[in-house]
Amino acid sequence: MKNGRLVWQILTTVVVVFILALASVNYWAKWRARHEIEKLSGRKLNDMYVLQVGKSYLNLWNGELVAADITLETDTIAWKALHAQYPDFFPPLISVSLKAVQINNFNWIYYFTSHHANLRNLVIESPVIKMVSSRDTLGKESLKDQLAGLPDLIAPFADVLKIKKVSVNNADITLQTIKEKGDTVTQIIRQADLFFKGIDIGPESDEITFCAEMEVSAQHFETVFNSATQMISFDEFKFSKKGQQVSLQNFAVTPQRTEQQFFKDIGVRRAYVRIKSVEIVAQGFDLDRFIGYNYMHIDSLRIQEPVANFTVNQLLPLPYRKLLPHELIQTIRSRFNIEKVIVKNADIIVTTRVPGRDFAITFNRSYITAINCSNDTLLMNAAHPMEIWAESQLLNQSPVKLKLNVPLLSRTFDADYTASVHALPLEALNPVINHKRVSIKSGYMRSVDINSVIRNGVATGKVVMQYNDLQLEIMKKDTGKTRKFASKIANMLLNEDNEKADPSSFITGEISLTRNRQEEFFAFMWHSIQTGLLPTLMPAIDKFKVKPTS
């Protein structure tokens, strides 16, 4: 009996000691954690940033840690002193606040024995981040290089970090980058949620992004460029790494200057641009390929119901040189390939400001498809150019079709295109061919078919136009009034009807024009078409010294 009682006493004592030991360890761990967190509060990081931590909670048994009211602020006095001592050094101005950080199921025993940190969940609530930095101090490392440095950054904490799920909820981020001469770029992200699954950060990690899945959403995003002159914004941004899809709503490019101020500032003939689109969706975007190889691949890009407004002031001089699409593409260093671009139900409005009047050309209900939009030398060449098909309503009434091929990696300006327009009152052309000397009084265009080849900046081709009842008016240059006698002579010299059914009077226009460096792509196309269009309308047009319009 005594032996049995002794055994029970020993077992009881062991259990009690074990429980007391666990309680002591738990108490010590909680005390130690609070002590370390209290030491963190008020500490300066890099002698520049002050860290504060509010309430904290630790449960050793289930590996739960909660810290609330965390802030990281720049010590502005120390910052100014350092910047004054080293004017070329611009450390980031940082302001960060977190409502709470929660860690669940941290296996601390496994961490101490292997230096591998395993968590089930990491939740960051309501972070508000504001940062001002200089472009010169941001570093030139690529995103791939920055991600590759993550294992070294976390080495003081663990050799390997694995987290099943990470959530960042309701984040607000404001980033301001200072460029030359005080110019700034400001980016604002509102109500962002980020979700990561299967995080594995370590020397032997397979994923370039160190996570198996990633989902990002934001209610609003905007970027303001060049000292608040232009803003790009959109709503309801969504990205899924697994689904390889990016989508956004209400995309807009909005000038932050008035039209008058814009034209005053630039001093040359450049379009004042406003763009908006209901929705943009990119399918087949491979994030790992983009980060790993600096190659952006997209299977399809869909742009829904865009409205593009372009305003040109012809009172301003032309710029010294205009870059063409293939030249702009070749300035892009990163490789890209967008297999297909689809634009649905677009409206394009081009408004021209000229002395005493304005006129607008519109392309309504436009549907555009482009394939092989790439700067990859394996995909883009003269035999496989970018191909564009477009259908629209010219001036909201006449069907227009366009087929355009452009080799984007050509060393010279090369392109091929065919276009057609049907059922158009010829008076509608007055805004674009009116030289204050010639105006179309009446006439009806049944069809016009254009076929042109551009090689090394020289356009050749044909304009086949069928019309009826054409009547012109010759205008006085100073007053704009009709010169009746000259108008009668002009109408005697032109073909009132131009129909294939009457070969004796049918005229086919010949396109022939060499581009000058000041002409942009579509302006040159239009000028070259006019060289075939105007003689078709009026064979004796040269006698009136009328040249293609700008």
- pLDDT for position 480: 64
- pLDDT for position 432: 67
* Among 28-32, 475-479, 543-547, the least confident range: 543-547
For the segment 272-282, what is each residue's pLDDT rounded down to a tens digit?
999 999 999 99
Is the torsion defined by CA of 132, 135, 139, 144 positive or negative?
A: positive
Q: Where are the domains of the chain?
A: 27-203, 229-411, 424-550
Mean pLDDT of 483-507: 78
The HSE-up count of residue 542 (CA atoms within 13 Å, CB side) is: 4
Residue 391 and residue 523: Cα distance in Å, rounded? 19
CA angle 136–175–132, rounded 5-degree value: 50
SS3 letters across 95-152: EEEEEEEEEECCCHHHHHHHCEEEEEEEEEECCEEEEEEEHHHCCCCCHHHHHHCHHH
* Among 264-268, 369-373, 446-450, the least confident range: 264-268
CA angle 464–468–473, rounded 5-degree value: 100
In angstroms, the Cα distances linking 524 to 277, 329, 479, 529, 536 are 27, 19, 30, 9, 19
User: What one-letter code names the amino acid at 254?
Assistant: T
* In the predicted structure, residue 258 carries a pLDDT above the cut 70: yes
* Residue pair 267/255 in contact by the 8 Å Cβ criterion: no
Residues 6+ apart with CB under 8 A from 92: 74, 131, 132, 133, 137
* In the predicted structure, residue 296 carries a pLDDT above the cut 90: yes
* Among 124-138, 454-468, 532-546, the least confident range: 532-546
- pLDDT for position 477: 67
Check residues 152 and 230 and name the one with the higher pLDDT: 230
For the segment 82-96, what is each residue's pLDDT rounded down to a tens digit?
878 887 778 888 888
Check residues 244 and 25 and name the one with the higher pLDDT: 244
Is the torsion defined by CA of 253, 256, 258, 261 positive or negative?
A: negative
Check residues 438 and 149 and name the one with the higher pLDDT: 438
For a pLDDT cut of 70, what percent of the chain falls above it? 81
Check residues 48 and 273 and name the one with the higher pLDDT: 273
Mean pLDDT of 467-494: 76
* In the predicted structure, residue 74 carries a pLDDT above the cut 60: yes
Distance of CA 463 to the CA centre of its chain: 37
For the segment 225-249, what is each residue's pLDDT rounded down to a tens digit?
877 688 999 999 999 999 999 999 9
- pLDDT for position 14: 42
* In the predicted structure, residue 385 carries a pLDDT above the cut 90: yes
How many residues does the structure list for the chain? 550
Residue 544 and residue 496: Cα distance in Å, rounded? 18
* In the predicted structure, residue 39 carries a pLDDT above the cut 70: no
Mean pLDDT of 461-488: 81
* In the predicted structure, residue 64 carries a pLDDT above the cut 90: no
* In the predicted structure, residue 6 carries a pLDDT above the cut 50: no
Is the torsion defined by CA of 374, 375, 380, 385 positive or negative?
A: positive
Instruction: For residue 528, name the pLDDT band (cuts at 50, 70, 90).
Output: very high
Residue with tokens 């009047």: 357
Instruction: For residue 79, name the pLDDT band (cuts at 50, 70, 90).
Output: confident
Check residues 428 and 206 and name the one with the higher pLDDT: 428
Check residues 299 and 183 and name the one with the higher pLDDT: 299
User: What one-letter code names the amino acid at 484?
Assistant: K
**Mean residue pLDDT across the chain:** 82
- pLDDT for position 65: 80
* In the predicted structure, residue 156 carries a pLDDT above the cut 60: no
Spell 249-270 as b/e; 16+ CB within 10 A means b: bebbeebebeeeebbeeeeebb
Residue 349 and residue 361: Cα distance in Å, rounded? 6
Check residues 440 and 58 and name the one with the higher pLDDT: 440
User: What one-letter code names the amino acid at 493?
Assistant: L
- pLDDT for position 43: 64
* In the predicted structure, residue 80 carries a pLDDT above the cut 90: no
